Amino acid sequence: MSPGSDQLSFSMATPGRAEREATGASHDGEHRDYGRIRRVAEGKPVSGSKTIMARTMLPSDANPYGNVHGGEVMKLIDACAGAAATRHARSRVVTAFVDELSFLAPVYVGDLVTAKASVNHVGRSSMEVGVRVEAENLLTGKVVHVSSAHLVFVGIDEAGNPVALPPLVAETDEEKRHMRAAEARRKRRLARKRVSDEREEPKQRE
């Protein structure tokens, strides 16, 4: 992250075709059943797919002033979240969109950056994965929280069609809290999509 961009947040919260199909949400907000999606009855615990990735930031990851580019952190987030999603689904997954991503502190060359990902919520064939990123100064031992993100993945088969995902089992109070928050975010995403579609319809008739 370069100077002046230590605080950055953005949202890419408009569900695309992938999530609409995965959740069964039509343009009018109704749900429809996709025959190709096979239901999976056996649930999997959140703990079963938790994933941790870490790497030391190098000069090639940073600008001339030693600040690590935000894109390097984003790449680690996507890789860690994708691994967690794949471990839960045990199928191919694709990133549908990033709901929330924020940079809370700078990262410097030499820092050990660790991403911790866990599945927060699972729908029919889409799932939300939360990621927390921390950076440790290896010389002082100081650890700072540098980023948090929520990403949505869709499970697909070899033909690119959505596949059913195992239900998620939240065992701890924290996991249950994360699941409730993820459900609320999903409802907001779909509500925003309905509003967006309603605004586009008059333009298409013109």
Taken in order of first residue, the domains within the chain and their CATH numbers are 8-200 (3.10.129.10)
Neighbours of 128 (CB within 10 A): 26
Query: In the structure, what pLDDT confidence band is assigned to residue 111 with cuts at 50, 70 and 90?
Result: very high
Q: How many CA atoms lie within 13 Å of 119's alpha carbon, on the beta-carbon side?
A: 29
Question: pLDDT tens digits, residue range 19-61?
Answer: 544 444 433 433 444 444 445 558 999 999 999 999 999 999 9
Question: pLDDT tens digits, residue range 149-204?
Answer: 999 999 999 999 999 999 999 999 999 999 999 999 999 988 887 887 777 766 66
Tell me the mean pLDDT in the region 124-141.
97
